[in-house]
Amino acid sequence: MSVDLEGAIRALHDDLAAWLGTEAPDSVFDRFAAAQDASFSMVTTTGQILHRDELLAGLRAARNAQPGLRITISEIEVLSADDAMTVVRFLEAHENAGVVSRRRVLAVLRPEPDAVRWWTLQETDVPN
């Protein structure tokens, strides 16, 4: 894959933090939405399955819902990669108003020549 995978993962989460934590312009949301494959789905930390349209509708309404939110990504591991899919695992930490929550994420990404499309992911809470 010619795309900087770690950079793409961090950039997506930077956009998510900007959208949820500031009065970000619509272009931030649009960039986040464009990174999600048309068939995207995820399993949340509560076990709920969200499909792309549900996720984006919820996020669209959540602009600046968590003022000052910061998201950091660490421990990125590529578990498998080929021309069709890349499987990664990473630690995602959300910090807001002095409270930190962490989740371990397993994601399946579809590489494209100049981008990464998020196909599916599952989040698991990590106790503090």
Task: Give per-residue pLDDT as tens, 68-113.
Answer: 999 999 999 999 999 899 999 999 999 999 999 999 999 999 988 8
At the topology level, CATH places domain 5-126 in Nuclear Transport Factor 2; Chain: A, (3.10.450)
**For residues 69, 102, 80 and 35, what is the CA-based torsion angle, rounded to 10 degrees?**
-20
| pTM for the model | 0.94
Boundaries of every domain in the chain? 5-126
Looking at every residue in the chain, the average pLDDT score rounds to: 96
**Residue 1: pLDDT above 50?**
no
